[in-house]
Structures are given as C-alpha cells and as structure tokens.
Amino acid sequence: MTTAIVKAKINGLAVEVPAGTTILDAATKAHVKIPTLCKHPDLEASAGCGICIVRVNGSNKLLRACCTEIEQGMEITTHDSEIVEVRRTVLELILANHPNDCLQCGRNNNCELQRLAADFGIREVPFPHFLPAFGMIRDYSTGTIILDAEKCIKCGRCVDVCQNIQNVWALNFVGRGVKIRIAPAGDIVLGESPCVKCGQCSAHCPTGAITEYDNTRDVWEALYDPDKYCIVQIAPAVRVAVGEAFGFEPGTNLTKKLYSVLRRIGFKTVFDTNFSADLTIMEEATEFVQRFAHGKGALPLITSCCPAWVDFMEKYETDMIDNFSTCKSPQQMMGAMTKTYYAEQQGLPPEKIFMVSIMPCTAKKFEIQRSRDMSSSGVQDTDVVLTTRELSRMIKQSGIDFVNLPDDSPDHIMGDYTGAGTIFAATGGVMEAAIRTAYYFVTGENLADVNIEAVRGLQGVKEGEVDIRGTTVKVAVAHGLANVEYVLDKVRKAKEDGKEPPYHFIEVMACPGGCVGGGGQPYGVTDEIRLKRAEGIYQDDADHEIRCSHDNPMIQKIYADYLGKPGSEKSHHLLHTKYVSRPLYTK
C-alpha cells in the first residue's frame, strides 16, 4: 500500500509529506523548528507542555503540532506574535513551578527547559513562584537513578518509556492538578518498585527530574587515595558516544583517546570490557553448544549480559530462569578476573584494587551488588560504575584536552579485544559474536562470512536462522523490554503445545538499540543517533583483523595460564552466576 501524499503550506511555503505526518515533523522537513518540551521522537505525543502550538487556518484554536496530523490543503502558521507570546507565557508558567536552581542541577547546560528559556530570552519569572509540597522531594532509593519530583515538568516521557517501551510499569503519574508527580504506584519509593534500573527514564527526561546517581566523587577519592590501586574498564558502547559531550559526531570511535585520558586522570591500569566480552563469548558459546549440541540444559538459551534484563527476568519472567545463560556480564567477568588473575600476577591484594567501570548503563551500578556472586574474588569485584555521562564530566573536571589528546593503548592482557567483543554495544551484537564462536566450536572452522546482518539494525524483534553445517540454529534478538514478550510468548506457546522451541538462542537487551542507546549514555538519543553509534561499532569490528573471540590470542592465553578451558570449574566459580525469583514490590 502506498501512502498518500498530502500537500499543505507551512508559513506560506508548500510542503508535501506522506499522510499521517504530524505538523511538527512536516515543519522540521521544511526547516522550521517548532519548539516543544514534552515530545520525544521515540515516543507518542503526550500533548502535555502546550509549547508547540501552531495556528491552522480555519480553526479558532491553536493546535498542538506534536500530535496534529497534517491534512490536505492545511495552511499552518508556526510563528506569529500571538503564538510566540502564548508560548512564552506557558514557558514562564513552567518556570514559575520549577526550582530554577540550574547551577546545582544535573542537567545544567544540557537541559531542554533551560535551552528553551535561553532561546526565549526569559529574564524574569513574572508570576508568583511556587513548588508543590511533596512528602519526599528526591528519591535515591535505587542507588542508580535519582527522582527529583520538583524538577519534573510532567511531560510524561519517563512514564511512557517505563510502561510502553520497557514494559516495567515502575513509574506512574500519582495525584493530580498541581500535586501530580511521577512516582511508583501506591506511593512507594522506586527501590521498592518493579524498577529495573535501565535508566531509559533518565535518558528521555528533558530536565533534571531523573538523573543518574553520581559516583564521580567516589572515583576521585579513590584516585587520590595512596592505598588504592585504581583500575578501569571501558564498556563497548562508551567509545562511540562519549565524544558527543566534546563536539564529536555520534558514532565517532574514541577508544584510544579514552585509554589516554583515563591514564592521565590517574588510573594505573586501563582495561577494556571488550576483552571480557570476548571471554563472555567463550563461556556463553560453550554453554550454548552444550545445550544445543549435547542436550545439556534448557533451550532456548537466553543472554544475560544486560543487568536490567536480568532484573526484569527475575521479576517478570521467572519461568525462564532455567533458560538464562549463567554467564556473568562482561563487566563482572572483568571485575572478577582483575581481582583474581591480574591481582595474583601483579602481586596486589584484591582489597587494594579499586575497580571502576565506565558503562553506558545505569543498571550496571546496581549489578555490582546484585548478589554474592558479584564478589567472587572475596571482595566486591567491581567497586564503582560510572556512566558515560559521568565520565564526560570527570574528563571536563580533570582539565585534560580530550579532543586533542594523542592516542594510547590499553594494558595487556585484558585490554586486547576482537571485533566480536566490540559489537556487544549494539543490539544483536552478543548474538552475532556468539554465533561466530559457536560455529567454530561445532565445526572447528570459522564462518566464511562473519557478518550476520539478520541480527543487526533497530527492528524491535529480529529473527534469523544460521546454518551450522546442516543444522539450523534459530535465533531471536529483542531490544526494548516491551519487545521481549513477543519472543517469550512464542517460546511458552511451543512449550505448552509440546513442540520444539521456536528459537535456540535469544538475545535480549533492555534498552532500545542495545547498549549504544543505554540509559547512561549522552542525552538526546534518537534512532538516528543509535544507528550512528552502532555504525561506529560495526566499523570498529570491521577494522579488526581478528573478529572472533576464540581467535583472540590473549583469551587463549588466559585460559592456558589460568582458567583451563571454557566451562571449567574455575570459570564457573569466577564467571558464572545464578538467578532467583524476586518480588515485584518489596514493600
């Protein structure tokens, strides 16, 4: 079916757009920017803020551009004295109900409300200032994200993301009128709610109402503590996004600058999570082959690298516990190996090592303490997690000229990675990397073409088949937790009907786009930016001579020197974990 084309006029200029296009999108195409505070490209228009109003000929009301579809022959005025005056008044009203403490705000210099106020040249708030008296202003209870009800402008993005993109239903609107606020239903704190800490709420929040829990001072303190030996790891997705805070295009791969800046900041050892991603593949591909080829364990196998997904599964999908890969995430494998293998090598007591990981993710802050398995070295394996956003602040605080910094290398041996490790950053990447190695494990040969396009891209659920020498492996990839249900329901249905499972291997990442779109990544993410970041990742993969985890000589060395073989007892002790059913509400 071809979509009809609608002809209309925006500010007198003719536009032609497919039927169903909103006035807002049509205006963007016509190079007219209509300001808005609540609309986000990922989400349905909530029509809350009232800033994007435009005039449509023939209507005596001003209509919201974000949710009004353009119609044939419409004549739209996006800016005139009345429209601008009304927008300004609405903005002033919002500011009259906002703390306006921008200097101390987590979104200072990077806030959509602040930007709009600057654009409109607001110099005073002409109306009486008031803040509703909530019982609790800030909710720190998750330890990963902070909810600040006072800074909330009630755009509803977080609620929409939490309910409809992530299917978590932790956040809700509570109360009404001036007392309306975002909170879990039943007036409990977020830490007692089903929240999985994915942080998508914070990534979509236009203001400082939801921010990551800032751990940068913990890291600075450790760095200046002579008794601490600070080691850092960098997650795959960080390298293609951190540059956005410094004027680089999204997707610019800054791996080597990151090594350099982290060393200058004061880390004694710089590792790369991409290495432990390779390690994860060794374990997980082994686990898959065990289950798939040797019938040891439930199928489909479901990935477990994403801590928000793990939390979600333990709360909402507990019937799938047996299907979960017991592999820890790359972050936790790196932590465990650092405080055992590396510590032994360097003669460092594990308690002296301060392990920092730079992650695109808020849930990683939660993962480091999610169970006793996260302290397999005897002490907590990873000490502090910084999101990409926190790292960029630390770099700015350090005074280091990041943009012009020369490249550097990571430390061996846990800094050396393959193309398979780096693609963990994008949705489908874990699956692709695992297939590359599983194929080898089964056949003893590498795939002729290691690019598995079927699992790449932003489609919510991706299904594919891989032929391993005559045997078909059926795989599915889901990202954005709301997409999981479709895949798992198919699995459940087959189980009920006593049929073969529809898939053998499932990858799930909580965040849309996978880690490149993680809840701790730089603000302003859209599908366009997710794709650019993923492009940077796939380019990194393509640029690597070695593109399969099992071919990583350092991986081979670590097994030879320390772990034995994948799935060994030592591996199990350090690199695997267990899952339990957890209540949705703890209050």
Partner 1 sequence: MPYNHYILVSGDSESSLNRRNELISFFEKEIAGQNLTDDVQVVSTIDTSACGMEGPFIKILPENIYIHNLTPEKVRSIVQEHLAKGIPPEGTGTEADKQFRIVLRNCGVIDPERIEDYILRDGYSALEKVIFDMTPEQVIDEIRKSGLRGRGGAGFPTGLKWSFTKEASSDQKYVVCNADEGDPGAYMDRSTLEGDPHSVLEAMAIAGCAVGADTGYIYIRAEYPLAIKRLELAIKQATELGLLGDNILGSGFSFNIEIRYGAGAFVCGEETALLASLEGERGTPKPRPPFPAVKGLWGKPTVVNNVETFANIPVVILKGSSWFSSIGSEKSKGTKVFAVTGKVKNSGLVEVPMGTPLRDIIFSISGGIRDNKKFKAVQTGGPSGGVIPEQFLDTPIDYDNLTAIGSMMGSGGMIVMDEDDCMVDVNKFYLQFSVDESCGKCAPCRIGGRELLTYLEKISGGQGELEDIEKMKRIGKAMQKASLCALGQTTSNPIQSALKYFYNEYEDHIVHKKCTAGKCVSLLKFIIITDKCVKCGVCKRVCPVSAISGDRDSGFLIDQSKCIKCGLCREKCKFEAINKG
Nearer to partner 1, 188 or 293 (CB): 188
Shortest distance in whole angstroms from residue 113 CB to partner 1: 11
Count of Cβ atoms closer than 10 Å to residue 273 Cβ: 33
Nearer to partner 1, 67 or 454 (CB): 67
Shortest distance in whole angstroms from residue 35 CB to partner 1: 12
Nearer to partner 1, 147 or 430 (CB): 147
- Between CA 460 and CA 481 the distance in angstroms is 9
- Between CA 413 and CA 416 the distance in angstroms is 6
Please list, residue by residue across 69-86, b when 16 or more beta carbons sit within 10 angstroms of its beta carbon and e when fewer do: ebeeebebbbeeeebeee
Q: How many DSSP H helices and E strands does the chain contain?
A: 19, 18
Instruction: Catalog residues that contact partner 1 under the rule CB under 8 A.
Output: 37, 45-51, 53, 61-62, 64, 67-69, 82, 86-87, 89-90, 93-94, 96-97, 126-128, 130, 153-154, 156, 173, 175-180
Shortest distance in whole angstroms from residue 19 CB to partner 1: 13
Nearer to partner 1, 88 or 138 (CB): 88
Helix (H) or strand (E) holding 314: helix 307-316
Burial of 459 per CB tally in 10 Å (0-12, 13-18, 19+)? middle
Helix (H) or strand (E) holding 308: helix 307-316
Shortest distance in whole angstroms from residue 143 CB to partner 1: 29
Nearer to partner 1, 107 or 532 (CB): 107
Shortest distance in whole angstroms from residue 93 CB to partner 1: 4
Nearer to partner 1, 53 or 435 (CB): 53
SS3 209: coil
DSSP states along 91-126: HHHHHHTS---GGGSTTTTS-HHHHHHHHTT-----
Which one-letter DSSP state was computed for residue 272?
E
Shortest distance in whole angstroms from residue 129 CB to partner 1: 10
Shortest distance in whole angstroms from residue 99 CB to partner 1: 14
Shortest distance in whole angstroms from residue 26 CB to partner 1: 15
Q: Give Cα 37 to chain centroid, integer Å.
A: 22
Beta strands in 145-258 (DSSP E): 145-148, 172-174, 181-183, 210-212, 229-234
Give the up-direction half-sphere exposure of residue 353: CA atoms within 13 A in the CB hemisphere. Answer: 31
Phi (first) and psi of residue 52, to 5 degrees: -85, 20
Shortest distance in whole angstroms from residue 162 CB to partner 1: 14
Nearer to partner 1, 56 or 481 (CB): 56
Nearer to partner 1, 91 or 447 (CB): 91
Nearer to partner 1, 68 or 304 (CB): 68
Shortest distance in whole angstroms from residue 62 CB to partner 1: 5
Q: Shortest CA distance to 155 belongs to which of 51, 21, 265?
A: 51
Nearer to partner 1, 95 or 254 (CB): 95
Shortest distance in whole angstroms from residue 557 CB to partner 1: 57
- Between CA 321 and CA 313 the distance in angstroms is 8
Helix (H) or strand (E) holding 9: strand 5-10
Shortest distance in whole angstroms from residue 525 CB to partner 1: 24
- Between CA 195 and CA 19 the distance in angstroms is 38
Radius of gyration of the CA atoms of the chain, in A: 25
Q: Is the peptide bond before 300 cis (omega within 30 degrees of 0)?
A: yes
Nearer to partner 1, 107 or 550 (CB): 107
Two tokens, residue 73: 């022959």
Nearer to partner 1, 135 or 470 (CB): 135
Q: How far is CA 540 from CA 372, 420, 527, 547, in A?
A: 35, 10, 20, 10
